[in-house]
Each structure stands twice: as C-alpha cells, then as structure tokens.
Amino acid sequence: MKKAYLMATVFLLVTFHNTVCQTVKVPLTLDMWDTVGTKPIHETYMGKECLLLQSGAIMVKGAELRDGIIEADISFTQQRGFPGMIFRMQDQFNSELFYVRPHQSGNPDATQYTPAFNGNAGWQLYHGDGYSKAIAFKFEQWHHVKIDIHGLQAEIYLDDMQSPLMRVGELLTGWKSGKIGFTSGGVPFRIANVQYSIKQGAAPAAIPVPANGAGGLITQWQIANPIDRRLFEKNYQLTSEIKEKLRWFTQTSQSSGTINLAKYIQPMDTGKAIIAKTIIHSETEQVKKIFFGFSDYVTVYFNDKALYSGADNFMSRDYRFLGTIGFFDALFLPLKKGDNELWFVVWEDFGGWGVKAKFESMDGISLK
C-alpha cells in the first residue's frame, strides 16, 4: 500500500514537472489569438507559415507566463517602426516590452527593453546597458528571438542563441504573471514558429535601492496626485490654492535614482502634471549644486519660487535629440538654514515620464 502511494506521488510530481516545463507550440490559426486593432493575415512567407500584423497587437489566447522562455521567428521591413514582443502583460496599458527599431539598424538604440505603465512606454528613461543594444538587422528575412524570463531578470537573444544580445537587470513591472504577445509597432510585422515554456521559480529578492541621500542620490520622493498643468503656466510663486489641491505620498525610486512618474497617473491621462518633492535640511545658509534629469517638461520651484523651466522632449533640441533622461542639467540652490522645499513639476508628451536628481555633495545637508 505504501509502495503504491509512493509510486502515485512520484508519478504526480513528474507529471507536474513536465507540465510546467513543457514547450507549447502556438498554432498560427486566428482562433488561438486575441487581437487588438486590425486582425492579422495568415500566410506563407519565405517558406514559413506565419501571421502578418499590419497594425495593432495580438496575444496568445489563454496563455500567461511569469517565469519561462518565449521564442519566435520575426521579419520586418526597413522602415521606421517599433515591432516587438509583449510579456507579463497585465492589461493593454501595463506590460514588459522588447522591440526593435528597423530604422536604427546598427545603432546603439537598434533594440529596446522598456516597461509600460498606464499606457506610457518609458524608453526615454531606460537607455544604455540592459535596456538597448546595437545590432544590424536582416530586412525582409527571418530573425529568431528568444526571451528567457526569470524573477526580475531576463536574457534576450537575437539570432545568436548562445550569447544574449541583452541582459535585463531589472524587469520593472515586477514579478507578475501576464499575457504574452506581439505588437506591430506601426510597421508590417511577421511572426512564425511561436512557442513558450513556463517555469516555476522562487520569489526573487527585491533589487536594492541606495539609502536616500547616499552618494547625493535622491531615492525617496514625496509624490503628489496628478494636477492640471495649466495651474503652473506663468505662475512664478506657489500659492495656497495650488497646495490645497495636493495630497502627498512617499515613493521610492529605482536603484538608478530614476522615478517613473507614469506609475501614478491614469491610463491615457493628458494635460496633467506630476510633482516630485524633496525637503532638504541645511545646517547653515549655503549654496548646493544639484544635478537632475527629467522627461519631458519641468518647472522647478525652490522654497515656493519658480527657479527653472526646461523642455527635454523628443526632437526638441535638434532632429537627432531623443529626450533621454540623465544627470545632464544642474542648479545651484541657495539653501537657507533649516528646511528647504524643492519641487519638480513634470509633464509629458510620450516616451517616458520621470525625474531623477543627485547632489554634488551631502556635506552639511540631509534629506527628509
């Protein structure tokens, strides 16, 4: 009896293991896919059965993945667009994305990983190592892509299945199960040989964030509810009318110091600003240099007075300007002894809604 029970238990464990690790090949029949926008076309292209997405997106019907591997063959033309793969998709506004930029073939931003929060894909906040990588594309031919997702990391392979093109150090929407699919990104996009496997992984440790003020970096912010940005037009002094409209809550940045403000809006929210505030306690009256970056527009208020206004949106400075965020600007803050308030009032066009800031030195100051 005990032996039979043991054998049955082993059989169930093996069956469970095979179920969660089994590779699922997704048929390319339209009934196996959910469509957003124009329905794809089923065809044969360069010897492969495939789906042609002329616009919109498609998701594998009934499939969800938190940890696992997604693979597909993809083909696209040499024109400006952003075709790619969607994973850990919670809804149409929140997901993880990997896509290619055919018009940037061979350039450092030929490929892109980014999260999307509330309909805002934040590529301007996420660039460089772990987010974008150069590769030369083969147009109107087949590439093979594989994404290995585990915990808060992922390896992304393109053609070379031995060496990852990109290692994503932090999947920014978190360790969540979600749908998988593909987006046309505004260009004709073909997909073939789609398959995925689901793995059962242990809950990952959180990515550590530096203490607020460590190395001058601001990692704790007071964030206000979205507010009509027109209240700040030609408004050089913060008023009680504005302050009465605000409710504040503490939020932590990513480990890099960037805080993605799109997390705190409603999907498709327009005409609104988000305010990020920090309180600086100074031991003496002094001047402190602070470096900062923002996307896309900002008005900076210091102790209730307008101090700076800037635009960092796509192509705002010249036709090659991407609007990517970094510690590219600086201010000299005339600190009074005691507490000082610094506000970044930020609003957005597209491509990333965020702010980051770092003091040159923390000598004689602390952050609240």
pLDDT single digits (tens) 187-226: 999 999 999 999 998 999 999 999 999 999 999 999 999 9
Using an 8 Å Cβ cutoff, are 314 and 259 in contact? no
Of 340, 215, 355, 353, nearest to 278 by C-alpha is 340
pLDDT bin (cut points 50, 70, 90) of residue 12 is very low
pLDDT digits (tens, 9 = 90+) for 295-342: 999 999 999 999 999 999 888 888 888 889 999 999 999 999 999 999
Topology classification of domain 214-367: Jelly Rolls (2.60.120)
- Report the distance separating Cα 244 and Cα 328, nearest Å: 32
Q: Which two tokens stand for residue 274?
A: 């988000």
Same fold, 24-199 and 214-367: yes
Calculate the average pLDDT of the chain: 92
pLDDT bin (cut points 50, 70, 90) of residue 121 is very high
Number of separate helices (H) and strands (E) present in the chain? 2, 28
CA angle, corner 154, sides to 151 and 155, nearest 5?
Answer: 150
Residue type, 29: T
Residues 235/236/240/246 CA torsion (nearest 10 deg): 70
- Report the distance separating Cα 125 and Cα 135, nearest Å: 21
Of 262, 102, 266, 250, nearest to 185 by C-alpha is 102
- Name the residue ranges covered by the structural domains of the chain: 24-199, 214-367
Long-range contacts, 42-48 (Cβ 8 Å, 24+):
45/75, 45/190, 45/192, 46/75, 46/141, 46/142, 48/73, 48/142, 48/192, 48/193
pLDDT digits (tens, 9 = 90+) for 82-105: 999 999 999 999 999 999 999 999
pTM greater than the 0.85 cutoff: yes
Name the more confident of 67 and 19: 67
- pLDDT of residue 9 exceeding 80: no
Q: Which two tokens stand for residue 249?
A: 């809550």
Concatenating the DSSP letter of every residue in 292-311 gives EEEESEEEEEETTEEEEEEE
The class (CATH top level) of 24-199 is mainly beta
Of 166, 178, 181, 257, nearest to 212 by C-alpha is 257
Q: Map tokens 């770092």 to a residue.
A: 358
pLDDT digits (tens, 9 = 90+) for 244-299: 999 999 999 999 999 999 999 988 777 899 999 999 999 999 999 999 999 999 99
